[in-house]
Amino acid sequence: MLELIKKYKPVIRFIITFLSVYIVLAVVYKLYLDYSDGSKYYPDYLTHTVAKQSQEILNTFGYETKIEAHPDEPTMKIIIRDKYVARVVEGCNSISIIILFISFVIAFSGKFKTTLFYLLAGSTLLYVVNLIRIAILSVGLFHYPWRREILHVVIFPAIIYGMVFLLWMFWVNRFSNLNKRNV
């Protein structure tokens, strides 16, 4: 049994580190959501900011866009040229994806400075790609509302999760201490 544990020590270390970081960050994020009362920024600051920044991107590209609080649920409505096309929910603010990304990178950590820089750069890239994804999804729903299911359920999740996967693979192959651990 001890031999088996020794053999799989790197895998066990990865799982424990990944789960520990993920649980801590998820709990902190949950506390943030629980204490966001929506009085100044609805439904919470991060989701509101993502909706606002998506609006700015759409307006920059000539789509007259406004956002407003949804009257029946804690979301922000995206309205292009007076047509309600999408809503930004808490899950659209990219924080859950960034938590997943951070947990993986820390579980395969490299040098401290490199890891910290990669976490900041990767998280920023994921945030920006998410904003672009929301803007493109909104335009797609404006022009092709009958394609809602494939756009929202297949194509656009593939963009953000694909980006996470590419960042992970780049990290593991280029910067992590994986090869130094003889895995």
> What is the C-alpha end-to-end distance of the chain, expressed in Å?
19
pLDDT at 180: 56
Break the chain into its structural domains and give their ranges. 2-39+91-176
pLDDT in tens, 76-123: 999 999 999 999 999 899 999 999 999 999 998 889 999 999 999 999
Amino acid at site 165: F
pLDDT in tens, 42-70: 899 999 999 999 999 999 999 999 999 99
Pick from 89, 84, 83: which is nearest to 51 by CA? 89
Kindly tell me if the per-residue pLDDT of 181 is higher than 60. Answer: no
